[in-house]
Chain A
């Protein structure tokens, strides 16, 4: 990795968000989270349901205002959504009234990229996610996995240096999810790009985090409780997940998720930045 990369691509500074429940009680969904993510890192944010990981991502995306602290992305404080932070949602976000190719072009259109140029770029990404044969189809004609491919192509075509993914594959079957991991990593490690995009990927699936991440941040009750580096080489296969250091990380993560009694501290643990 070249040394020219920004070591503070995403910076969360004492970030917090409180909600008021229907019964009038205040709930601290995200509580004083500080985190620095260098450019090009693939970070998985893991935690049990309701631990505040989606809220955190929404704040970084600028879709939700923090009640405390701030987020700085590429040196600029986040004040709302912006195209430098592409987002892939858990629910289907592909516009049903636009054909596949028009969906992929959408971000480029927002930036007034000339029609010819944006069509070519969109076509290239539609091809890379394996949807060239359905580029003129309506989204209603596609499967759930194909819709995710459209969303991935659209976000990558838009060229955002930071990608925020909120449990994007949670609703998909095992096989489709694995195919999409490959699609995602293939685009992320884009050949010719000196520094890959910075990715923050929210998941509750331990194996998914181990397959994808350079670094896994564990959230519990709105706070960061652990920050683990994953050093295994890519591409990671089923065998990679059986390496002793991977198994150790898995035990730690499962313990954090309340699925194992005691956390075994892995050798590779520690801040990855």
Chain B
């Protein structure tokens, strides 16, 4: 693809994006219904970036010399910004911890399936059983087990991600060409060496889609966990806004979510392109 084509692509994408924003703006003018007095069902951009954003200050719990609205302080843009940052950090923290835990455990259990007949026997049936349990069916259980504790929310995200990682790893290991395994073994590689130097790099191209898939599931799971009684995080803000039918706030948080998920996908793609410098271009994209 030439540089000109690439720039044209970007230009078209930007225009589509602006057109969508325009459609939303037109809708906000045409459809003037309100969820409750002063709360439009479709809030225009001029509302979203002023009044709505400012109202997010309500979720600031105080600190850094900026008092909380609940304590009688006036709404301020600084409080709103701090509020967005604090809740975002909470959400992203849950996601990152869940990803690390779920990804790590899922990967290890996936590798255990091929490590030896014994490790396979130990792991296979219990994991197949867990895989069959839908994530959403686990919600009440997690709620009862862990209440509204941070650990419970992280474990919930880790569970959602771990299941995907496990399945992805098992499948990817199965597709490692036998020739590389034979080659390493004939060089005298130990089993640990074989996994570290052959299996792990060989499964990486296939694992990339697993990582992206689990990231999507992770964002979903972290929101789910926060809907269920967390006292912080973007999911908590959405639930709280829903109780008072603040549709504009919910919409603004949803937009923020789109921004975060896009950045996370972009970051993973960039990272994998770097890590896959060895692979043919078709496997890197």
**Which A residues have a C-beta under 8 Å from some C-beta of B?**
61-63, 80-83, 85-87, 89, 91-98, 106-107, 109-111, 138-140, 154, 158
Contact = CB atoms under 8 A, between A and B. Distances in A.
A157 B138 CA distance: 55
Nearest to A90: B179
B186 A95 contact: no
B178 to A, nearest CB: 9
Interface stretch (B105-113, B159-167, B197-205, B230-238): B197-205
Contacts of A154: 187
A140 B179 contact: no
A51 B4 CA distance: 57
22 contacts: A61-B182, A62-B186, A63-B182, A63-B186, A81-B188, A82-B186, A86-B186, A86-B187, A87-B186, A89-B179, A89-B182, A91-B179, A95-B180, A95-B201, A107-B187, A109-B193, A110-B188, A138-B278, A139-B278, A140-B280, A154-B187, A158-B188
A85 B201 CA distance: 25
Interface residues of B, number: 21
A94 B182 CA distance: 11
Contacts of B180: 93, 95
A198 B193 CA distance: 27
A61 B185 CA distance: 10
A81 B202 contact: no
Given A91-B179, A97-B201, A106-B197, A81 B186 contact: yes
A107 B182 contact: no
B189 interface: yes
A138 B193 CA distance: 21
B179 A110 contact: no
A96 B201 CA distance: 9
Contact of B183 (A95, A97, A139): A95
Contact of A93 (B182, B202, B279, B280): B182
User: Shortest 10 CB-CB distances between A and B: which pairs?
Assistant: A83-B188, A93-B183, A107-B187, A97-B201, A87-B186, A81-B185, A97-B278, A110-B188, A81-B186, A110-B189
A111 B186 contact: no
Contacts of B197: 95, 98, 106, 109
B179 A93 contact: yes
A61 B186 contact: yes
A105 B179 CA distance: 18
B127 interface: no
A87 B183 contact: yes
A95 B189 CA distance: 13
A85 B186 contact: yes
Given A96-B278, A97-B202, A97-B278, A111 B182 contact: no
B277 A138 contact: yes
A96 B279 contact: yes
Given A87-B182, A93-B180, A110 B278 contact: no
B69 interface: no
Nearest to B201: A97
Interface string B251-285: 00000000000000000000000000111100000
